[in-house]
Structure 1
Amino acid sequence: MKRYLVCLFLLFCCFFVYGQSGQEQRSRWIFAFYGDDSSEDFKWSIAGNSNGQNPNVLSEVIWTKLKGLGMGLDVELNIWSHIYFKGSYHKAFIRSGSATDHDYAADDRTQVTYSAFLKSNEGHRLRYAATLAYAVRLHEMLDVIPYAGYANNSQSLSLKNFEEEKGGRELNSTYQSKWNGPVVGLDMELARTRRINLNAGFSYQQLNYTGLADWNLIDAFNHPLSFKHIAKGFETQVLLRLNFSINSRCSIYLRGEHRYAETGNGIDQLFLADGRERESQFNGAVRKIKAIGAGVVFSLK
């Protein structure tokens, strides 16, 4: 992370020195509204004790193809000279997906003691970010925009049976997570013609991860907080956007996005109904998101 920040700072200095002359002022305000269709895979596991043993994977939950529609807003505001505030907000609503829940008695996922195939068709994903950026025109057809700031991601996921059980309690477990921390990135805008331009962006984020679960059918667990996960990790994002100008103030665009996040080992805190607490090793979480969408951009000089 430190090396990445140093490299970004050096690039920033170079852009500041060489990008001043001849640069045309970008729009003072830029608003981009969009909708997208996304799919997510997410998983985590815990060990049997705090040393990561007995067994090395005690329980593992895997969510796959969590699909749903979302909507977002990106904003740029020129604060002073070439310095911009960049803000973004996005929320997606999960409408379909599945999950598996497995428990093991021996190392390396052997001796299965519990196995369930479940549905996960409710919940949402939320992301918002606030950053400061420096816009530089390196060429009449190329703008480069390094930025740094803070971003927050959250998930709200569900676990339910595919078929409702009559006469008994229904499975309605939940898992909520937060991924937040500082983010740095680089956007590049390439104008192919006066009407068409391509925006490519990459970002890297250091994460503090927290997961909160309510396993509603296990009476031995406390409710609504059955267990908690704490860890540190990172996220990378690649974003491509193809813009088609309608006039000087409005354009439409297509966008494609890929995110990858993972954490290292952390702490699993189990809260029991009798008030006792137990700790074991959180083996980490992995998250992959891909999305495609379309939107409209409004610019004000």
Structure 2
Amino acid sequence: MVLNNHYVYFAVNKIKTDMLIALRISFIKPFLACLTLFLFYQTVSAQDNLHKWEVKPYAGIQQSRFDWSIAGNAAGTSPNVLSELIWKNLKGPSFGLDIKYNITERLSIKAANQYSSITRGEAEDTDYAEDNRQSAFYFDLLNANKGYLYDANLQLSYQLLKFGDFNINPIVGLSYNQQKFHLLESANNPDSKGLNSTYVARYKGFDFGAELVLKMQKFSLGATVLGGFYTYSAKANWNLIPDFAKPVSFTHKANSFSLSGDINLAVPLNKSLRVEVDYKINNINTYSGVDKAYFNSRSTEETQFNGASFRKNALLLGLNFSF
């Protein structure tokens, strides 16, 4: 009987222990489930507080300059600069729209478009008989108060480093730029009556660089530097020269390198709206390539395209809407 009571005692204690373990397990499982739901809710709430979209319309003014030249033959000689065109003091209004999508807190993609109208400007057309721009035998100063500049790009940005309020964000992207310049009749030159020649240039390629951002409570200050490798193509319509074919009188093909920058000041008005001021610069250098001239009564001729250079500065004011 004593032995049997001993077994009964241990059997009862084991049942109690198993019941306590079962009760603890049954309590822990709902507790863990509730904790998981709570953490998930907090994560979702934090993501909801992140604005996914940013839309920024803006407007401002731009000033630009563009030039190109060709040699006398395909070898780049006779002379090394035969004809040179310089468009300078080109001014006009600029309008743009940037749309940004924040994929995650660190990764974002942005599509940007900017259109600038040329409403003021002048152009110099010079031909030389000897090397190094010597012995000019033709010169004309013409109106160039017509045309446009169009820039479009798609950029992927990632917040790589964060030091307190300071961020470093590498950027890669695709770019397309198109420009149309005019040569128009000048009141000082009767021979230019009816002149309306055009030169359309296109740049296509990719950009790489970084954005540096300092975010403070009352404002943020950003600086972006980008380099770009582009293919360059251009076509011209010289409407007053009878020997040239129309609408394509000659074409240019080459490669280009771009260096651009943007300084941005943003002041928040509330959680969803900021006022932003941008100062943008863009320099594109185009290397030597091929000039092809098309004629009405003779075969196509090739000479060396010596290259081109483009410079633009723009001051822009915009509103950034976040949602």
How many percent identity over aligned positions?
31
1:7 aligns to what?
A: none
CA distance in 2 between partners of 1:26 and 1:175 (Å): 46
How far the C-alpha of 1:136 sits from its partner, in A, is: 4.1
Is the CA contact (8 Å cut-off) linking 1:35 and 1:294 kept in structure 2? yes
Structure 1 counterpart of 2:270: 247
2:163 counterpart residue number: 139
Structure 1 or 2, whichever has the larger Rg, is 2
Equivalent residue for 1:222, pick from 239, 245, 252:
245
Contact 1:169/1:217 (8 A) holds in 2: no
Aligned length: 277
Once the 2 structures are TM-superposed, how far is the Cα of residue 36 of structure 1 from its aligned partner?
1.5
Match of 1:93 in 2: 117
Contact 1:195–1:246 (CA under 8 A) maintained in structure 2: no
- Contact 2:69/2:85, CA 8 A, preserved across alignment: yes
Supply the AA of the counterpart residue of 2:157.
A
In structure 2, distance between residues paired with 1:297 and 1:214: 40
| Alignment partners' CA distance in 2, 1:207 and 1:150 | 10
Counterpart of 1:180? 204
State how 1:68-147 maps to structure 2 within 5 Å.
68-80=92-104, 82-136=106-160, 138-147=162-171
Give the deviation of 1:139 after TM superposition: 2.5
What RMSD over aligned residues (CA atoms) do the two structures have, in Å? Answer: 1.9
Q: State the Cα deviation string for residues 85-124 of structure 1 (Å, max 9, x = none).
A: 1110000011000010001111111121211000100110
Residue 292 in structure 1 maps to residue 292 in structure 2? no
> Hey, which of these two has a bigger chunk of strand by percent?
1
Which protein has the bigger helix share?
2
Query: Among 232, 235, 239, which residue is 1:212 paired with?
Result: 235
Is it true that 1:237 corresponds to 2:250 in the alignment? no
TM-score, scaled to structure 1: 0.87
Which stretches in structure 2 are left out of the alignment for 5+ residues? 1-45
Partner of 2:214: 190
For 1:158-212, what per-residue CA distance to the aligned partner results, in whole angstroms no more than 9, with x for missing partners? 0012228889951110000001101112112102x31211011011110101111
Q: Which residue of 1 aligns with 2:88?
A: 64
TM-score normalised by length of structure 2: 0.82
Q: Does 1:28 align with 2:52?
A: yes
Q: 2:304 aligns with which of 281, 287, 291?
A: 281
1:229/1:266 contact within 8 Å kept? yes
Q: What do the CA deviations read for 1:230-273 (whole angstroms, capped 9, x no partner)?
A: 01011111100111110010010111011111111100000011
